[in-house]
Amino acid sequence: MMRVLVAMSGGVDSSVAAALLRRAGHDVVGATMKLWGGESDSGCCSVADVDDARRVAQQLGIAHHVFNFTEDFDHHVVEPYVADHAAGRTPNPCVSCNRHLKFDRFLRRAGQLGFDAIATGHHARVVESGGRWHLVRGTDRAKDQSYVLYMLTQAELARTLLPVGELTKPEVRALATELGLRTAGKPDSQDVCFITRSGGRQAFLGDRIPLHPARLVDLVTGEEMGKVPAVELVTVGQRRGIGDPQAGGERRYAVHVDVAGATVTVGSLGDLMDDRLALTDMSWVDLPAAAGTDVAVQMSAHGRPVEAVFAGAGEVRLNEAVRRVAPGQSVVLYDGDAVIGGGIAA
């Protein structure tokens, strides 16, 4: 039996994670992280989510706590999110939250309180073999969340339990229904918790940094094709709002964002295609991949894995050309279903 602190977000997955661990005979306590202190009408940080987590804990007969990590969240997630947009990058705040809050701050708090391990409701699996820990895709490939956990190392994996990783989402909901948990039919969170549906990114960023109009310039001709209201809101690969979508007989896409020069370069889909990736801030689940290692590369949370070769020093050579990854996005390397590591697109 272990003492396990379960990160309960108020959703069905973390509710069932706590239930499964309780059923297995562990000493379970639930805790909800208060992360975002501002307005929220989406994501997983609302007052209603905290209440749902608390009431599920009551149903399961376990204690429940609320940890206020708003300062850490602002420092490690919100401020970098704003800074990345100001620099023309497209960040992934959910990856930053996992890296700095759920599997660092929360894990450290669990250790301080004498817990043996933490657990979350992520759809992924932690597998031990030969004294080493492996991060593996969840059983439900449609819900697999290993992509957003790629930064976990041996130290974190050794103290992490992912109980729902063996289940499909319908099985999770069925078990929640069987147990009568109030979250059984609750929809999944889909949005960034600190971006409201009513205001969106423009309102959020506009309150924190100046937003600057920019020229749209054709990649081939250098001709100015129009303007966008805020260069900081444009993502490489974006099509909507990039001038005439049929100009030159082809749809137009943002292929480069220059914040300092207030210019967005646009081109065709072919201009976006590339067979190489340059990654920074690499992290590894275990030993770093050697140069020349065959890998499968995933470039978004539910993107199609692409066969590639890791060339070393953050360089990845793809076996086929794909749409360029926006700078700031996470790229994850797999060996089959096992995560090797990942980095940030330069």
Catalytic site residue from 44, 45, 94, 193: 193
Tally helices (H) and strands (E) across the chain: 10, 17
Beta bridge partners of 309: 294, 317
Structural element, H or E, at residue 319: strand 315-323
User: What is the rounded distance in angstroms from the CA atom of residue 43 to the CA atom of residue 81?
Assistant: 16
97 assigned to active site: yes
Please check whether residue 186 is in contact with residue 11, taking contact to mean a CB–CB distance below 8 angstroms.
yes
Output the six-digit token pair for 110.
Answer: 């669990």
**Taking the chain, what is the end-to-end CA distance rounded to the nearest angstrom?**
44
Alpha-carbon distances, residue 135 vs 151, 298, 306, 335, 336 (angstroms): 10, 15, 19, 11, 11
Distance from CA of residue 89 to its chain's centroid? 15
Catalytic site residue from 44, 45, 94, 97: 97
44 assigned to active site: no
Just list the catalytic residues: 97, 193
